[in-house]
Chain A
Amino acid sequence: MKSIFLIDDDPIFVYLTRRIIASIDRQCKINEFTDGDLAIRYLEQICEKPELLPDIIFMDISMPVMDGWEFLNQYSRLRPRIKKDIALFIVSSSISPQEVERSKSYRAVSDFLIKPLERGKIVEIIDSARETAG
């Protein structure tokens, strides 16, 4: 059973992404976080419990309280303690090339995806996570 974390403050986007994921894989477990701070706190708690850690993280950049960049800073520090190989995707409505460039400076980031998130792309990501896990 795959586990996915959605870190995004936009309820519509989260709702639609949930539906897409459910249509691909009903078994998928999804956790929602409306900002980076809530997500990083939870990850800190569970970093040594692979059974609770996600396979995939989809994360927005523009969020209240703690934005995606700050999340990435803290996540990068936490990463050595995380007992699982997690694929992290930035999912942003921004089309700014500077942000794409900036995201490349984080080794934890697998890819920078621009919204809307297409179903085909999610299928691809879930499949490849399945391969590495399986």
Chain B
Amino acid sequence: MSKREAKRPVSEEETEQRRIAEQLDKQKAFYENILNKLPTDIAVFDADHRYLFVNPGAISKEEYRKYIIGKDDYEYAAYRNRDVSVAHARRAKFLEAKQTGKEIRWEDTLTDPQGNMITHLRRMFPVFDQNGELSLVIGFGIDITDRKLMEVKQAALVDQLSKQNTQLMDFCSIVSHNLRAPLVNMSMLVEFIEATDDPVEQRLLISKLRPVIDNLHATFNELVESIQIRQDLEIKKENVCLNECVKRTIGGLETEINKLGARIETDFSEVSVIHYPPQYLNSIIHNLISNSLKYHYPGRPPVIRIRTRKADDKIVLSVEDNGLGIDLEKHRDNFFKIGKVFHRHPNAKGFGLYMTKTHVEAMGGRIWVESVPDQGSTFFIEFENRIKQAS
């Protein structure tokens, strides 16, 4: 009886052990299955950064997966004949996680064998035992290439939107300042006309309406033109010869040039042809030269130097003068806005530079100015377009 009794628990224990072992195997298979099926990279390291486990998401080939267990990234890089820099980078991250004892995350971008950029978001977190000793470091990574590409697209979109928003703000300010002002004047004049019975008085007031209407008309036309330019994406570009363009402008401004004794020097040795809508380029050159003439320094014959140079794949055109110049500290924000005038000049309307900026930006270019008051200004225009070599 005692033997039987003694035997029974053993057999029960055995069954129990077998049951537990089966259970454990099942559980192991269950968890391994999960880890292996997860569509992310999972790797587990010991405290010395040696691999304890990798899932097929991290290394798809079983042969490599078997090899890497017990090895580190340096051995694996040598085995796979890979650049050691990846191993260096990963070791640095591992040490960071180990030393800080905190989870770290970073993004890394690799080029796959097909030459595509692949970006992963990687995380590593240390696991400590009861004694506070580092027992494991778990690393995992998810492929965020799609998100990364979206981010690039989004950044471009945000850039475009913010440009358009600036244009919209400019437009609002034009409507508010430059269109509303003459309208207010007109309505006030009309009120005065209505309030008086004196015909002489009425005629005087009516005569004051004309310049207001002309001003409104001019601003309105400039505005409409600038909107058309910004919307006309189909405008035809041609190879425009800068020398001819400048010659034409000088022809148009001959009287003014002779009167002031102005000298215009050109140097188009680096770039002589620009692929651009001809009427835009003519307008740009005309506006800049006539500005330099208009704002010449009193008593000093204007000298205007126009030149081009190559800057990477872009072309920079500069127009330098020895005129009045401008205090950029005060006026930088307003420089190219419509209706902004910086000098007391009877013909200053503030349209020229606004149109020039429109002509430049509509084609993806940039315009800026450097200036010293009383010494002169230099306008720079960067053209996005390469020259189309006439073949």
Contacts and interface: CB of A to CB of B under 8 A. Distances in A.
A10 interface: yes
A93 interface: yes
A66 interface: yes
B184 A93 contact: yes
A116 B184 contact: yes
Interface in A78-95: 93-95
A70 interface: yes
Interface majority SS on A: helix, strand, loop or mixed?
A: loop
Given A12-B212, A94-B177, A96-B173, A115 B184 contact: yes
A95 B208 CA distance: 24
Of B180, B334, B339, the most chain A CB neighbours within 10 A belong to B180
A93 B177 contact: yes
A55 interface: no
Contact of B208 (A15, A66, A96, A115): A15
Interface residues of B, number: 25
Contacts of A133: none
Given A19-B192, A96-B176, A62 B330 contact: no
Contacts of B341: 64-65
A120 B116 CA distance: 72
A13 interface: yes
Nearest to A19: B192
Contact of A116 (B177, B187, B330, B350): B187
Interface string A1-44: 00000000010110110010000000000000011000000000
A67 interface: yes
B95 interface: no
B153 interface: no
Contacts of B4: none
A95 B172 CA distance: 10
Contact of B185 (A16, A62, A65, A95): A16
Contacts of A13: 181, 184-185, 188
B245 interface: no
B342 interface: yes
Contacts of B350: 64
B348 interface: yes
Interface in A49-108: 62, 64-67, 70, 93-96
Nearest to B185: A12
A35 B344 contact: yes
Contact of A12 (B176, B180, B189, B342): B189
B343 interface: yes
A64 B342 contact: yes
Interface string B329-368: 0100010000111111000101000000000000000000
Interface string A111-134: 000011000000000000000000
A13 B342 CA distance: 20
B187 A95 contact: no
Contacts of A65: 341-344
Contacts of A67: 334
B342 A95 contact: no
B5 to A, nearest CB: 94
Contacts of B180: 93-95, 115
16 contacts: A12-B189, A12-B208, A13-B181, A15-B208, A16-B188, A19-B192, A34-B344, A65-B342, A65-B344, A93-B177, A94-B176, A94-B177, A96-B173, A96-B176, A115-B180, A115-B181
Interface of A: 10, 12-13, 15-16, 19, 34-35, 62, 64-67, 70, 93-96, 115-116
Given A64-B350, A96-B176, A116-B187, 14 more contacts: A10-B181, A10-B185, A12-B185, A12-B189, A13-B184, A13-B188, A19-B192, A62-B181, A64-B341, A64-B344, A65-B342, A65-B344, A93-B177, A93-B180
Which A-B residue pairs are the 5 nearest by beta carbons? A64-B341, A93-B181, A12-B185, A115-B184, A93-B180
